[in-house]
Amino acid sequence: MPPSRLLCAFAIALALVVGGPARAETPAPGVLDKVSFGTNWVAQAEHGGFYQAVADGTYARYGLDVKIVPGGPNVNNRIQLIAGKLDFFMSANSLQSFDAVANNVPVIAVAAIFQKDPQVFLAHPSSKVTKLEDLKPLTLFVSKEGMPTYFQWLKSEYGFSEDKVKPYTSNAQPFLADKNSAMQGYVTSEPFAVEKQAKFTPTVILLADYGFNAYSTLIETRIAFAEKKPDLVQRFVDASIIGWYNYIYGDNAAGNALIKKANPEMTDDLLAYSVDKMKQYGIVDSGDTLKDGIGAMSDERMAAFFGKMVRAGVTRRDVDYRKAYTLRFVNKAVGLDLRPKN
């Protein structure tokens, strides 16, 4: 998913179809439950654990036949989830979850694969940027989606000014031409593109390391689906977690092959770069995951991020953010034995 796609505002109110009482849906031996999972962009390393779980048979071992439905510039898989055409969706970050509650959209986050949002600013080495505050004097290239979201937090928490902002249109050329500028991006992709194109290594400032503590790459499903099929949801979450451990720390060749099949434009060097940066910055495995396992979430962190977004004017204070997620399916230490010991 490109860095500009931080938040898609949904003003969709759908009736929540209430089914029968929750019950386990474990399939009979040898029978796999068919599951559809929509991502929010074309296949890439940032989706790697899900593809890995398909490719190495992890989903099958959990009784699931999973079909991954890639997103893209003209694909809105979240709408497909809400309409009941997909079972799960890969949501961008916690802000989408809050937005769902605010607009009575009956979906819920059941796991957070990324503990750190990958949003960064890239700066030229000559600008001598070493910390977030050093970006203030620079021209900042920010997307139209970034302005009402993370940039409002930068204004609220760090006193940034919109006077220094110019539009970011997924084109690095304006940034490359202005050494006194900084450009938004994802830590897993844009620095790689700059290095390839401009032959220098940009300075990278990860917003998550300065307090922008949104969860990212959340697994989302319909509330009714989670209530009616909790066993299936648990198996999908657990198998996805195992897939992510294997993709990050194990032999991910099978997962990468499936990614390249789904997205022929993907390259081996970008896949390797992205995995390396996910490990280096603790995007997937850091903080609470060290004891609770990949996918971990906490009430305290959700409350803290919600408070920041309220102060920044991004989210309404009267939104009941606790309806945006559930801890029922995570924090079970699934897959901890797969993390390298050293």
Based on the fold, state whether residues 225 and 328 are members of the same structural domain.
yes
pLDDT value of residue 13: 31
Based on the fold, state whether residues 204 and 218 are members of the same structural domain.
no
Specify if 94 maps to a domain.
Answer: yes
* Residue after which a domain boundary falls, among 160, 182, 210: 210
Structural domain including 52 reads 33-116+214-338
* Residue after which a domain boundary falls, among 160, 185, 210: 210
Q: What is the largest CA-CA distance in the chain?
A: 63
Specify if 1 maps to a domain.
Answer: no
Q: How confident is the model at residue 234 (pLDDT cuts 50, 70, 90)?
A: very high
Based on the fold, state whether residues 222 and 241 are members of the same structural domain.
yes
pLDDT value of residue 30: 73
Based on the fold, state whether residues 192 and 233 are members of the same structural domain.
no
Tokens coding 102: 């605010």
Give tens-digit pLDDT for 150-174.
999 999 999 999 999 999 999 999 9
Specify if 22 maps to a domain.
Answer: no
Based on the fold, state whether residues 45 and 112 are members of the same structural domain.
yes
pLDDT value of residue 11: 35
Tokens coding 328: 């029922």
Taking residues 252-256, report their average pLDDT: 98
Nearest to 221 by CA among 135, 132, 329: 329
The yes-or-no verdict on residue 9 having pLDDT over 80 is: no
Q: How confident is the model at residue 28 (pLDDT cuts 50, 70, 90)?
A: low
Based on the fold, state whether residues 102 and 124 are members of the same structural domain.
no
Give tens-digit pLDDT for 82-135.
999 999 999 999 999 999 999 999 999 999 999 999 999 999 999 999 999 999
Distance between alpha carbon 145 and the CA centroid of its chain, in Å?
A: 15
Q: Quote the Cα angle for 270-271-273, to 5°.
A: 60
pLDDT value of residue 27: 60
Please name the residue that has the structure tokens 């603790």: 282
Based on the fold, state whether residues 123 and 146 are members of the same structural domain.
yes
Report the CATH number at residue 153: 3.40.190.10
Nearest to 216 by CA among 312, 313, 273, 294: 294
Based on the fold, state whether residues 261 and 306 are members of the same structural domain.
yes
Specify if 23 maps to a domain.
Answer: no
Based on the fold, state whether residues 202 and 244 are members of the same structural domain.
no
* Residue after which a domain boundary falls, among 210, 243, 258: 210
Q: How many domains does the chain have?
A: 2
Interhelix angle 299-311/150-158, nearest 10 degrees: 80
The yes-or-no verdict on residue 18 having pLDDT over 90 is: no
pLDDT value of residue 3: 40
Specify if 297 maps to a domain.
Answer: yes
Task: Answer whether 190's CB lies under 8 Å from 46's CB.
Answer: no
pLDDT value of residue 342: 73
Please name the residue that has the structure tokens 């977690």: 241
Based on the fold, state whether residues 124 and 112 are members of the same structural domain.
no
Specify if 136 maps to a domain.
Answer: yes
Based on the fold, state whether residues 97 and 183 are members of the same structural domain.
no
pLDDT value of residue 312: 98
Q: In the chain, what percentage of residues exceed pLDDT 90?
A: 90
